[in-house]
Amino acid sequence: MPIKEDSHIFEKHQQRLKREKRVVMGWQVFILVGFFGLWELASRENWIDPLLFSSPSKVYNLLIQKFSDGSMISHTFVTLFETLLGFIIGTLLGIVLASLLWSSSRFSKIADPYLVILNAMPKVALGPIIIVALGPGYISIIAMGAIISVIITTIVVYTGFREVDPNYEKVLLSFGATRWQCFKSAVFPANLPVMISTLKVNVGLSWVGVIVGEFLVSKEGLGYLIVYGFQVFDFSLVMSALILIAIFAAIMYKVVERLEKWLIKHTT
């Protein structure tokens, strides 16, 4: 009897979770459709300036045209390539730096004030310096995407390393484990959720870094299209680029979310 009761409770819990998920998804779709519907209505009724804010129908027609002639595909591919590389490099470099800080308490004490200062600095303002140093090309834009996320990754992950229960390390050391083995077996696995959370933040930061880099130096990419659209007063083009950025950023976020679920399932 207790087993059947537990099974029934579990099924009810699962049904409740599924129902909650459907409600959340329904509201998300409603808000999205409502936003575009209100935008279209406001543009047609001149509640907003159609020239300045465009409209979903104009943006849709422009996207169809640009994707049909292939021009939008090349711009999108360039920005995606730069963003993904900047995202991966910034995240990996941040985790490596956090690991080095954890490995040496002296090094972490020396580096701590510099990390605080670097985190406080507006990384976007370093764009012109990076472009002069690395040249006006893909490398400088990818560097912008990486630099804007590497410091925050380092700080967040290192803080997570330090907050791991020290008793785990003491138990492993009592069995003769080295500091590296403690890190590999206890500290690093315990911080996988922290790293995944950092990945979610870095999705947005990488897009910001790359788009700003394209504003400054690029001759192709979605950031370039935004600047070009402003220059020629083609705000439908500007809105098209912004919507594509939002779509691909959302896709990246969902991929990271799936990765988080997979890691939780296979590490617990």
* Domain containing residue 132: CATH number: 1.10.3720.10
Both 31 and 119 in one domain: the answer is no
Give per-residue burial for 63-82: e unless 16+ CB within 10 Å, then b.
Answer: beebeeeeebeebbebbbeb
Helices (H), the chain: 2-44, 50-53, 56-69, 71-103, 105-120, 127-134, 138-162, 166-174, 179-182, 188-190, 192-216, 222-231, 235-267
pLDDT band at 32 (very low <50, low <70, confident <90, very high): very high
Both 127 and 36 in one domain: the answer is no
- pLDDT above 70 for 67: yes
Both 63 and 89 in one domain: the answer is yes
**Could you give the CA distance from residue 151 to residue 203 in angstroms, rounded to a whole number?**
14
As for how many domains the chain has, the answer is 2
Both 146 and 179 in one domain: the answer is yes
Domain that holds residue 171: 56-267
Task: State pTM to two decimals.
Answer: 0.84
Both 135 and 71 in one domain: the answer is yes
Both 92 and 164 in one domain: the answer is yes
- pLDDT above 70 for 90: yes
- pLDDT above 60 for 69: yes
Both 97 and 217 in one domain: the answer is yes
What is the residue type of 34? G
Task: Please give the pLDDT value at position 41.
Answer: 93
Task: Please give the pLDDT value at position 245.
Answer: 93
Task: Please give the pLDDT value at position 213.
Answer: 87
State pLDDT tens for residues 188-224. 888 888 888 888 888 888 898 899 888 888 788 899 9
Task: Give 173 or 149, the one with higher predicted confidence.
Answer: 149
Both 197 and 248 in one domain: the answer is yes
Nearest alpha carbon to residue 28 among 254, 239, 259, 240: 254
State pLDDT tens for residues 94-117. 999 999 998 888 888 888 888 888
Both 28 and 67 in one domain: the answer is no
